Structure 1
């Protein structure tokens, strides 16, 4: 079972299974236990999945989180896939889910997640991270708090540094 890193830097077993998108014409096959399914399939089968605490969704970096408007807090976990290191669209999705849509539950980063991205993901509202398999999870706690102060406002503080210094 892979590990998941919490925003406090603790490492825990990840009991959520990311279910890949089925091939065209195939049906969605859910394994036992908590699962993360593609967002559009959850929306299409919402009457079957609504209220379940063992079904969450994952979004690709090109998915529009607006599709979950009004529904986000029905989901125990929302994961955002970072398909490659240089694709930053997931950061925007995280901020939108937290700030515009008011998502309160676990927001998880999956895919090509590297240690040097963790603090930036945390500032955008992510609170769980599935590191790429070739990375050392024991270094995550240090990477989550690498900077003691940040200049910009974000989901972790709504006051920029110049205003914090003035008060």
Structure 2
């Protein structure tokens, strides 16, 4: 079972990854998310569903292809392939700040406790925690810093422009 945090609390993941339309598969019921390539190939078919719809984005994908459809998604999954690769941080900020995405943004892959606070600042509100990470220790990461200096998705102004 995947360790899952949503909105700073342990939660149950009710989303199912789905691929299979290219093989003539039928659409399952419930909440599903598909890789970006499948969304682009089967957009019209996927839009006929009644359940929640999400898309999984690689950190090398260009978000511009989702611009017109961003509000059709309930979930966007961002891949963090390794700790030292920060491109998905940028994708999260673009989704929130430039595209106005208000749904769930989930981090998956090499998600570490030390990054959770910063991921949240970029607009990510759900996290699949690696198996080797402790869930209760990970939850504490959100409260370890109480003052932020720079603006981000969670704070519009730098500290020097905030009212006391």
Instruction: Give the TM-score, by structure 2 length.
Output: 0.88
The answer to whether structure 1 residue 49 and structure 2 residue 51 are counterparts is no
Q: Contact conserved, 2:3 with 2:130, CA < 8 A, in 1?
A: no
Greater shift, 88-97 or 142-151, is seen at 142-151
Residues 164 and 68 from structure 1, CA distance in 2 versus in 1: closer, same or farther, beyond 3 angstroms? same
The answer to whether structure 1 residue 38 and structure 2 residue 24 are counterparts is no
Q: Which residue is equivalent to 1:85?
A: 83
1:32 Cα offset (Å): 5.9
Residues 28 and 68 from structure 1, CA distance in 2 versus in 1: closer, same or farther, beyond 3 angstroms? farther
- Consecutive unaligned residues of structure 2, counting only runs of 5 or more, are none
Q: Contact conserved, 1:4 with 1:14, CA < 8 A, in 2?
A: yes
Residues 31 and 48 from structure 1, CA distance in 2 versus in 1: closer, same or farther, beyond 3 angstroms? closer
Aligned pair count reads 161
Greater shift, 88-97 or 156-165, is seen at 156-165
| Mapped partners of 2:64, 2:80: distance in 1 | 18
The answer to whether structure 1 residue 65 and structure 2 residue 49 are counterparts is no
Instruction: Give the TM-score, by structure 1 length.
Output: 0.87
| Mapped partners of 1:100, 1:144: distance in 2 | 24
Residues 51 and 129 from structure 1, CA distance in 2 versus in 1: closer, same or farther, beyond 3 angstroms? farther
- Consecutive unaligned residues of structure 1, counting only runs of 5 or more, are none
Flag as ranges the 4+ runs of structure 1 deviating above 2 A. 17-20, 26-35, 51-55
Per-residue Cα deviation, 1:22-71 (whole angstroms, up to 9, x for no partner) = 7xxx6375666422211121122111112643331110110111110021
Per-residue Cα deviation, 1:101-122 (whole angstroms, up to 9, x for no partner) = 1101001101110111001000
Greater shift, 83-92 or 136-145, is seen at 136-145
The answer to whether structure 1 residue 10 and structure 2 residue 9 are counterparts is yes
Equivalent of 1:135 in 130, 133, 136: 133
